[in-house]
A = this chain, B = another copy of it.
Amino acid sequence: MARQERAIRTRRLILEAAGAVFDEHGYASTTIAMVLERAEVTKGALYFHFPSKESLARAVLAEQVLFGTVPPRGCKVQEIIDMTYAVGQRLRTNALLRGGVRLAVDQETPSGVDRGEPFRQWAERLTTLLEQAADQGELLPTVRPGETVELLVGSFTGIQLMSRALTDRADLGDRLAVLWAHLLPSIAVPGLLPGLDSAADRGARVLKEVREAEEALVAVEQMPAGVE
């Protein structure tokens, strides 16, 4: 068990290092040696988990959608809003996520890595949520969840990119607020709109909530047996 935990931690270290290097240098200029140096693991450990640069890139891309994790909400439209803000907020500090986004966006990423994969994963996860929203009567009857989701993923991609090019992502929260102000009236039933929170600082508040929930969990786990 201890060995398995160590393997998981090593894999994580490598992934985070690879994300940071891909984010800074892009796919073509990244070398395994650069990742090794950053991760401070042995060559053997790296090749055990990732036999090639392509497999590293694929793994970094596959992590991307996990950064959309937020607390579940009764209102599924709010949960989708929260996902976009959580990703936006995490983009500002998390190099693994940033590396995945760069790999998905940069044209130089080779076709063997499949840049389209994270787009499809985001679309799949958001479509499930939007279909739940439809079942709960949150959506206008004109909404086709598949189309709206593709628009959302595409728009988010471009908005974060423009924010990165112009302000190093400092204004991403403001840009997301503008996105939602424009999209929500075409998506959600009017009665839902006043109760939705899509303010520019939503991301910071959602992540604070996630952090507090995690700390509470750790506190419970660290209690002596029998105490509850």
Q: Which residues of A contact B (CB under 8 A)?
A: 23, 26, 28-29, 102, 104-108, 115-116, 119-120, 147-148, 150-151, 153-166, 175, 178-179, 181-183, 185-187
Contacts and interface: CB of A to CB of B under 8 A. Distances in A.
Contact of A165 (B26, B119, B160, B161): B119
B157 A153 contact: no
Majority secondary structure of chain A interface residues (helix, strand, loop or mixed): helix
29 contacts: A26-B28, A26-B107, A26-B108, A28-B28, A28-B29, A102-B107, A105-B105, A105-B106, A106-B108, A115-B165, A119-B162, A119-B165, A120-B166, A147-B178, A151-B159, A151-B178, A151-B182, A154-B161, A155-B159, A156-B158, A157-B157, A157-B158, A158-B159, A158-B160, A181-B186, A182-B182, A182-B187, A183-B186, A186-B186
Contacts of A102: 107
